[in-house]
């Protein structure tokens, strides 16, 4: 189990997820924080799984960009016990996985990793920094594979 408080909110009506595996993923990332710029700050971490329209609304409201996106992170305040929030679009992960022949669970897990890395201090706005983030994502994926951690997600039909 993760040493940090972890709040997982599934706001996607068709997404099914494994909370225990997600908790183990965050715990493993936290345990390896020195390999990732010191890791995500201390405090409660929130993971929120959303639809494309819901994440697009957040994108518009907080970043003045009404388009869909894969992940949005909000920094917390460790003094108030908050590490931050990672908001992930299950729809975007599903569409990307279908278009590129990738596993949906692996894609959505990558989005969680990506958000955790943003909170750890990585960004992907400039090419050099994007390469650094991609390398960190690859290290994190290898850590999960070595630990045999592969959360299962699925989108059910209505």
Per-residue model confidence (pLDDT) at position 3: 78
Q: Cα torsion for 124, 125, 131, 133, to the nearest 10°?
A: -20
Per-residue model confidence (pLDDT) at position 2: 46
pTM for the whole structure:
0.95
Residue 131: pLDDT over 90: yes
62, 72 Cβ separation under 8 angstroms: yes
Residue 86: pLDDT over 90: yes
- Residue 149 DSSP symbol: -
Residue 117: pLDDT over 80: yes
Beta strands in the chain (DSSP E): 6-10, 15-16, 44-50, 71-75, 82-89, 154-155
Lowest mean pLDDT among 56-70, 94-108, 126-140: 56-70
Residue 112: pLDDT over 80: yes
Per-residue model confidence (pLDDT) at position 1: 41
**Domains of the chain with CATH codes:** 6-155 (3.40.390.30)
Among residues 42, 36, 54, which one has the least CA distance to residue 2? 42
Per-residue model confidence (pLDDT) at position 84: 97
Residue 33: pLDDT over 50: yes
């Amino acid at each position: 189990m993760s040493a940090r408080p972890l709040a997982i909110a599934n706001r996607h009506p068709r997404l099914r997820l494994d909370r225990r595996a997600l908790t183990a993923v965050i715990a493993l990332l936290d345990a390896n924080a020195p390999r990732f710029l010191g890791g995500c700050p201390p405090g409660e971490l929130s993971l929120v799984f959303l639809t494309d329209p819901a994440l697009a609304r957040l994108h518009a409201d907080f970043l003045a960009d009404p388009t869909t996106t894969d992940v949005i992170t909000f920094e917390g305040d460790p003094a108030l016990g908050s590490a931050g929030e990672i908001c992930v679009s299950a729809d975007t992960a599903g569409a990307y996985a279908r278009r590129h022949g990738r596993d949906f669970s692996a894609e959505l897990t990558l989005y969680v990793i990506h958000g955790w890395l943003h909170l750890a201090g990585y960004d992907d706005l400039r090419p050099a920094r994007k390469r650094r983030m991609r390398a960190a994502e690859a290290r994190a994926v290898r850590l999960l594979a070595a630990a045999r951690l592969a959360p299962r997600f699925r989108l059910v039909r209505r």
